[in-house]
């Protein structure tokens, strides 16, 4: 399925519920937006930035955090194309990064500033991986 279809489905997080009053809070409505995040990480314990089978990659932790934060539907977390996932560069095993840029389509409630993406992802990331900024 497409990310936009999953988000607009009635069971999706933040989706408007049937019978909701017209003055329902805007936080109940959401859409997907392409968001770029600037990340910094310590590469120790990782096989690099890019996801690969049977190894731990930084992208694995970022996508898992996005799922836990409700930014990415769990059923799409393994489909990088459905997320429109893009990275500016890659790092090898054990290499650190100070400002790598990643972009992906994420769930963004209409009343939330894109800066909230960095905050919610950081709440679910290990201390060795930080989102420094988020922009549309």
Q: Which of 2, 4, 92, 115 is catalytic?
A: 92
Residue 92 annotated among the catalytic residues of the structure? yes
The helix or strand, by DSSP H or E, that contains position 89, with its residue range, turns out to be: none
- Dmax (CA) for the chain in angstroms is 52
Q: Which of 100, 107, 103, 86 is nearest to 129 (CA)?
A: 100
The beta-strand segments (E) located in 3-128 are 30-41, 86-87, 97-109
Catalytic residue IDs: 92
């Amino acid at each position: 399925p497409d990310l936009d279809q999953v988000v607009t489905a009635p069971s999706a997080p933040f989706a408007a519920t049937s019978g909701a009053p017209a003055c329902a809070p805007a936080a109940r409505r959401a859409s997907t937006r392409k968001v770029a995040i600037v990340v910094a990480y310590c590469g120790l314990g990782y096989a690099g930035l890019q996801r690969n089978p049977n190894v731990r990659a930084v992208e694995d932790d970022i996508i898992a955090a996005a799922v836990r934060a409700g930014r990415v539907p769990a059923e799409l977390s393994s489909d990088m194309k459905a997320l429109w996932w893009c990275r500016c560069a890659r790092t090898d095993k054990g290499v650190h990064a100070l400002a790598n840029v990643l972009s992906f389509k994420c769930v963004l409630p209409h009343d939330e500033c894109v800066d909230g993406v960095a905050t919610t992802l950081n709440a679910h990331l290990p201390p060795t991986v930080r989102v420094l900024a988020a922009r549309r």
